[in-house]
Amino acid sequence: MIEQIDKNLAQRPKDPEAARVWDIVGKVTDPEIPVLSIIDIGILRDVLVGSDGTPQVIITPTYSGCPAMDTIKADVEQALRDAGYERSEVTLVLAPAWTTDWMTPEGKKKLEEYGIAPPTGSAAVGMQRGPKRLSLAVRCPRCGSIKTNELSRFGSTSCKALYQCANCQEPFDYFKVH
């Protein structure tokens, strides 16, 4: 389960066989946010192919308690079975810990079009102790106004917060910086 992998963004493997697997499983989407693939969110960390041809897919959970991980794991296995791989291995890694900084620009764009405000700023500045930090305004994904209010930092899923737009009055989800 635990292995150290490069802290940098995950890369499509250079090995053609592994790259093929990457492309197959990369189409698997988050069950909670079906417009986002596991590449978009940064959950897909690496793909290895064993000497016997068995693919090993390495994914990382977004939040410790995220119930979507079990579904994603099953969906990855199913995608590979559909593509003709009889056996596969899905490995969960915790290190390095997932961050919204791994979300792709396309992923952020898709999120916004879907009606969820993408994370603002970078996670690296978070987790400082001391005086309360100011956070950037969250733009309403419907009307584009920055006059929005946080209703609850905890939203419909672990990764989201609940906001309301003061301009168009619509409530919306915000994907938290993490």
Partner 1 sequence: MSGGSGFDSATLISAGYALTSEELASSGVQASDDVAEYALRLGDDALILAQNMLWWVSRAPELEEDIALGNVALDLLGHARVLLTFAGSASGKSEDDLAYFREEEEFRCLHLVQFPGHDFGETIARQLIFSHYAFEQWKRLENSADATIAAIAAKASKELDYHVDHAEQWTQRLGLGTEESNRRLQAGLDYFWPYIDELFEDDEFIEKLGPVAVRPSELREDVMARITTAIEEAGLRVPEVKQAVTGGRRGEHREALGHLLAEMQVLARKHPGVTW
Contacts with partner 1 by CB under 8 A lie at 1-2, 4, 61, 63-67, 70-71, 73-74, 77, 86-98, 126-127, 129, 151-156, 158, 162, 176, 178
As measured in angstroms, the least distance from the Cβ of 126 to partner 1 is: 7
Give the tokens for residue 57.
């897919």
Q: To the nearest 5 percent, what fractions of the chain are helix, strand and coil?
A: 25, 20, 55
Least distance CB 65 / partner 1 (angstroms): 3
Q: Smaller CB distance to partner 1: residue 66 or 140? A: 66
Q: Would you say 35 or 92 has its CB closer to partner 1?
A: 92
| Cα torsion 138, 104, 173, 176: sign | negative
As a whole number of angstroms, the distance between CA 103 and CA 114 comes to 15
Is the CB of 9 or the CB of 95 nearer to partner 1?
95
Residues 6+ apart with CB under 8 A from 168: 140, 142, 143, 145
42 or 110: CB nearest partner 1: 42
The residue assigned the tokens 């209703």 is 151
Q: How far is the CB of 156 from partner 1 (least distance, A)?
A: 7
